Every structure is written in structure tokens, then in C-alpha cells.
Amino acid sequence: MNRNLRLTMALIALSALPVRRPVMGAEQGRGEWDRRSLLSQGNVARIQHAMAKARRGEPVTIAVIGGSITQGARASKPQNRYGNLVAQWWRQNFPKSRIQFVNAGIGGTGSNYGC
């Protein structure tokens, strides 16, 4: 067997060996990983206000903004588009409220378009 072939076979065999890697968080506390990964905790006041309106039976508008995935590209059925699923969740959880849904997804646009 020539040298290159032996080396190639040895590399293939080595690549099949299991590699032990440290478990995420093993060298640091779990809280440290969470703290370092969180960019912003955000502000939930607006969603809480919308949910309070829906609980009172007032009308609420749910809108999604984005690109082709938001628009519904590659969804198996229109009702499986993620925005439609969000609207469905609102309608199921707040049946007394009239939920209006707006899908502002535009295929072929980048994320910066909605900004």
C-alpha cells in the first residue's frame, strides 16, 4: 500500500473515533453561560397590555414582519405558516376577543428591510 493511501486510511479511522468534549457549563456555572448569552431581557409591557385587552374581550391586532419565511415560503399548508400559528394560538387562548392578523412578510427581502 502506498504511503498516501495509508495516511488517508489512518485519518479516516481517526475521524471515526469518539471525541470527549467538556459538557457545556461543566467548567463554568450554568448561570454564567446564561448571563453571557443574553443580549437583552427586553420589555414585556406591550405584550402584557395586548393580552390584558384580549382577556377583556377587546379586539387585538397581531402582526408579523419579515421575509420569505414569514410570508409563508415552504410551508406545507397556509395554516402552517408561523404567523398563522401565532394568530391561531391567540384565537384559541382568547376566544372572546376578535383577533385580527396581519402578515407583512415579503419574500426576497433581507432582515434589514423590516427594521
- Residue spans of the domains in the chain: they are 43-115
DSSP state of 114: G
Joined grid coordinates for residue 22: 467538556
| Distances 105 to 2, 101, 110 between C-alpha atoms, Å | 58, 12, 11
For 34-48, the pLDDT digits (tens) are 777 777 778 889 999
Longest dimension (CA), the chain: 79
Provide the pLDDT confidence category of residue 1 given band limits of 50, 70 and 90. Answer: low
pTM, two decimals, is 0.62
Does 13 score more than 70 pLDDT? no
Burial 17-54 (b: 16+ CB within 10 A, else e): eeeeeeeeeeeeeeeeeeeeeeeeeeeeeeeeebbeeb
Query: Residue 42: what pLDDT?
Result: 80
Q: Is residue 29 pLDDT above 70, yes or no?
A: no
Percent of the chain residues past pLDDT 90, beyond the cut: 42
| Better-predicted residue by pLDDT, 41 or 77 | 77
